Structures are given as structure tokens and as C-alpha cells.
Amino acid sequence: MALSDLLAQTRPLVKQHIAAVPEPWPRYTLFLSFSDGRRRASVVHASGEDIDRLWTMVAARCRRLAVRRGLEVRWLRADWVTAVRPLTWDALRDTLKGFKRNYFRFGLALDPHFDRAFLEGELNGNAMLYGGSGVNHAVVNEKNFRLYACQRFAGQEVDFSAEGQVFALETQGVFCAGDTAPVLLHPTGRKAGRRILKARDPKVVRGMVERGGHYLATQVQESGRFHYGWHPCFDRPIGTYNALRHASTVYSMLEAWEVTRDPVLLRAIERALDYLVTELIKPATLADGEQAAFLVDRGDEIKLGGNAVCLLALAKYSELFDSNRYLAMLEALALGIGAMQDPDSGEFVHVLNYPDLTVKEAFRIIYYDGEAAFGLMRLYRLTKDERWLAMVEKAFDSFIAREHWRAHDHWLSYCVNELTTYRPEERYFRFGIRNVADHLDFVLKRITTFPTLLELMMAAQQMIERLERDPIHRHLLAEIDLEKFDKALHFRAGYLMNGHFWPEYAMYFRNPQRILGSFFIRHHAFRVRIDDVEHYLSGFVAYFNHLQREVSNEQDERSRRPVGRVGRVG
């Protein structure tokens, strides 16, 4: 669609929603951002008293700049100022200390007429308020600020003197991609700048699953190795690799494929699995002579969680495709986990050295315990081999004794949901409830998207649904506020939409096409890493399935209602 068509589609929605700002500020200030999807958005803006004249002026600037830069515009976004807060640079710096890094959701103007002004997307996309990973709060990055300001405003300098004026801008906007109707964007706040959607719509959630799965498919190279991740502000690759996250990401891709059946995604999964089993998983002989296998990570490390997520990925593939291809490998990996478990206490050792299998770290992170137990449960579900279930039950004796539920670990939530399917014992159900019951305020209030919280909630929800049908153990539901649980679950799912790289977000970064449809971690400079995407994706797959069940249950309920008799008229 041509730029003129995008402008024509966008203008009516802008006129419908724009409102005048009271004096002494400019009555209307309008920004137009536009991108071809491959380059960072170009932005033009102006202020005026009459909205029709202002639109004509800014649209003309937009057309001229698009021609000059040779852009075939794919995305157009219009934003307007809704409120203003005057500050000094010193006051702004103090204000920024109260915002988590990259969570300052306002635009900034450098003069009271807004001749030089920036949208929030420009500030964050160019790391203008980011001081590095060592600074927890937002901060003026003068180097990046000057660099982008000089690009945007023809080499003009920025005066950062303490008493110099600066103005925080609240805004709202409209986004148009041409292939769909223009959409209104959320105003300033934690949802700022993304499209307004019905969070509980299964179609919306499925769309994010499709795009997230497709993104991960594009990151699998021909070798089967992933592009591990990107720093999107400046389109820089993350120069490391993690074999555990390779395996766990493949697992999430299989979950997504189960929903989408995307053939491109499946081909990528098969390449990544082949790389996993041929390059990353290594054989080893145990002390008793049994042949085991281990996922070997950087530094010749064997991580308990690494073997666990290999079980998840390979067992999921085996289930989906009724395949025996990986059964021998699955058993060898499980035996490797067995070699890391104390047969008396049930506790796991977390990190070994390869190939001598000596202990490197007895404990590293609690997540490994939950991953190991969950992986073994999924293998038990596949094979019904009692060895694996016995290992999990032994591990849970340890988890309960050490009150692991206090960690509120999503992997333990997954595991206990699976375990209670086969061993519906009160102590396991109670563990699952305690793992989430006193964590609901955190789920409701956490400012970061924290995608594993949705995974925690969804696994717990599945267990709760079974408890509601269990006359023996239903009384345990009195130990959790179910109304608050439901509110927290849906809130967190909706909040995670703020971490999706919608085009209206992606357009302000150096290479929008690279990150489009992925998921990011805002406080890590919008980092996109395969495991970040993995956790969002797994949570949204479970949430989509939950919404589908809700819709199905509502339809069943309606079908069971008696049809009222219609009286005869006459």
C-alpha cells in the first residue's frame, strides 16, 4: 500500500481522537513515524492551532522525507501530545531515578514550542535513557542522546545544563500497516504505544503464538544452531551460546507447532533437534558401566537442567509424531539425571565436569531441580517406565522437606501438575498450591513482564481445574484465593502483550524486520534472546489452550440450557 493510502486511512482516526492541549503549550502537536520495515523509523512532527492544516503540513513533510530516503513505506504511526510536564535537566535526572531502566514511558521536548521533540519510542529505540546493565534506573545517556538528536534535527546541539528546560510529553497514537484497519494505541503508561486489543481473545493470543513461533524458526540456521539473540537498539548479535537454552527453546517451538502446524516451523525444529542430538549431547559411561548421555555446555559443563530440557524436547517430539527415533537417547539422558541424584536423600547435584563426571557445583540454581523432575515426568508419560516416576517421587520428598515451594518456580509448577495426574496425593497437591498461593500479589504488581510468571500460573491452573473435579482433594482449594488467582492469571497474560515486538514498537529500532514478532525484555535494553522468546511462547500456548477450553465450556453450557417455550399469539 502506498504512503498516500496509509495517510488517508490514518487521518480520520487521528481527527476523531486528538484533543487540544491547554495553554501555554502548542494546541496540537502531531508526529508521523514511518518505516519500510527494514530501517529504523523516520519521524517528522510539527505543532499548530488547526488540526486540518497541521495534518496537511506534517503529511507533506512525511512524503518529502520518504521520497528523499527512497522508502517504500510499510508502516505509518501518528502520535499526538496529550499532556505536558515542564522540568529542568536536573529535575529530569532525579525523576529518572524513580523509573526502572527503559520504563520511562514519556516523550521529551527540548523547548516550550516543541520544535525539537522525541517520542518515547525514539528515546528507547536509540538507548537515549539507558545507562547500561549496571544502572538499574533510567538515566540520560548524553552520548546516545546527542547522536540521535543531531540526526533528527540537522546537527543541532543539545544543552544538558542543570537548569536548562526540558518537557515530558504524554502522548497517544494510531498505527496503520495497510493490510488491516488502523488501530488505536494505548496512551502513556505501562502499555504505552501498543495497539489496544482484547487480551482474552483466543485469536489475538494465537496470533502471538504464530508470530513467536515463526520468529524462532527464522533464527535456526541451516546447521541447526540458533542465532542466539540480538540487542535491537543497534542490531548487535549476542555473542555467546547456551546449549541448555537451545534445547528448551526447541521444546517451546514444538508446543507452538502443536497449535499452528506451521511447516516452516517444523522444518526448523527438525534442524535444531538434529544439531542437539549430534553436536550438543555427548555419551558417557557411568561408574556402574551403564551408558548415559549428557548435554554438554560451554566450559565442558554438564548441567542438570540441560539433560532435563533435552528430555522435554525429545519426549514432546516423540509424542507429537508417535516416533521411536529418540527413545534410546531419552533413556540415556534420564540415566544421566539418575547419576546426578542421591538415591537416599533424593537431592540432585547440579553441575558436573565432562567427561570425567566429577562434581563442579553441588548447587547452582533451584530451577534445575524443577526442570529435572518435570523432564522425568514427561518421559514417564511417554514410556510408563516406573524408574522415572520413582526418581521424581524421591526428589519430591526432598523438595517438600526443603520447602522448595517458597521459590515459586514455574518448572516445579509444571512438574507437580504432571505428578498429581499419576499420583493424586494430598502432599503433592498442597505443594502445588503453596507454590503459587502467596505469590499472587507479585504476579499482579511486578512491573517487568517476567514471562515465567504466566507459565507458573498456567501450570497451576491446570492442576486447579483437576482439583475442582476431585471430591477427595477439593477441600485444598480453600488454601488459595481462587478469585484473585483468576484475576492474576488474566492480568499477567495481558501484561505480557507489552513485551511483544508489535510493528508499532519494532519500527523504532535499527532493524525492525529482524525482531518483528519476537518478544523482548525491556529492562535488558529490549534484549531478544531465544530463551526470552521461549518463555513468552510457552506461556501464551498454555493461555491460548485455556481460553479455548473456556470458550468450549461456555458453548457446552449454552447447549445444555433448556429452550424456552414460545407462546402462541392470537
Tell me the percentage of the chain whose pLDDT exceeds 90.
Answer: 95
Tell me the percentage of the chain whose pLDDT exceeds 70.
Answer: 98
Lowest mean pLDDT among 248-257, 357-366, 516-525, 550-559: 550-559
Which of 192, 190, 195 shows the shortest CA–CA distance to 175? 195
Q: Which domain does 385 fall in, by range?
A: 202-551
CATH number of the domain within which 449 lies: 1.50.10.10
Same domain assignment for residues 178 and 235: no
Same domain assignment for residues 206 and 177: no
What phi, psi does 548 have (nearest 5°)?
-60, -40
Same domain assignment for residues 431 and 325: yes
The last residue of a domain, from among 124, 150, 184: 184
Any domain includes 565:
no
Any domain includes 191:
no
Any domain includes 356:
yes
Cell of 238: 549476542
CA triple 147-152-155, angle to 5 deg: 65
* Domains in the chain, number: 2
Contacts (Cβ under 8 Å, ≥6 apart) of 341: 347, 348, 349, 372, 391, 394, 395
Cα 492 from Cα 497, distance rounded (Å): 9
Average pLDDT estimate for 548-570: 67
pLDDT tens digit string along 147-159?
A: 999 999 987 899 9
What pLDDT does 517 receive? 98
Alpha helices (H) along 352-422: 367-383, 386-401, 410-422
Any domain includes 341:
yes
Any domain includes 37:
yes
Cα 443 from Cα 483, distance rounded (Å): 14
What pLDDT does 562 receive? 67
Same domain assignment for residues 442 and 331: yes
Any domain includes 562:
no
Average pLDDT estimate for 426-454: 98
Edge-to-edge strands, sheet with 229-231: 236-237, 229-231, 528-529
Cα 285 from Cα 354, distance rounded (Å): 11
Same domain assignment for residues 106 and 242: no
Average pLDDT estimate for 553-568: 64
Any domain includes 390:
yes
Its pTM stands at 0.96
Same domain assignment for residues 264 and 398: yes
Cell numbers 514427561 label which residue? 378
Which of 453, 389, 455, 398 shows the shortest CA–CA distance to 418? 389
What phi, psi does 506 have (nearest 5°)?
-60, -30
What pLDDT does 361 receive? 98
What end-to-end distance do the CA atoms of the chain give, in Å? 59
Same domain assignment for residues 263 and 149: no
Cell of 171: 502522548
Any domain includes 193:
no
What phi, psi does 287 have (nearest 5°)?
-60, -30
Q: Do the bridges between strand 291-297 and strand 301-303 make them parallel or antiparallel, or are there none, so unpaired?
A: antiparallel
pLDDT tens digit string along 306-336?
A: 999 999 999 999 999 999 999 999 999 999 9
pLDDT tens digit string along 347-396?
A: 999 999 999 999 999 999 999 999 999 999 999 999 999 999 999 999 99
pLDDT tens digit string along 279-293?
A: 999 999 999 999 999
Mean per-residue pLDDT of the chain:
96
Same domain assignment for residues 258 and 406: yes
pLDDT tens digit string along 413-437?
A: 999 999 999 999 999 999 999 999 9
What pLDDT does 563 receive? 55
Residue 570 has pLDDT above 60, yes or no: no
What pLDDT does 564 receive? 53
Same domain assignment for residues 435 and 512: yes
- Report helix, strand or coil for 43: strand
Residue 513 has pLDDT above 70, yes or no: yes
Same domain assignment for residues 240 and 348: yes
Same domain assignment for residues 370 and 310: yes
Same domain assignment for residues 48 and 94: yes
What pLDDT does 567 receive? 41
Cα 99 from Cα 367, distance rounded (Å): 29
Cα 286 from Cα 358, distance rounded (Å): 11
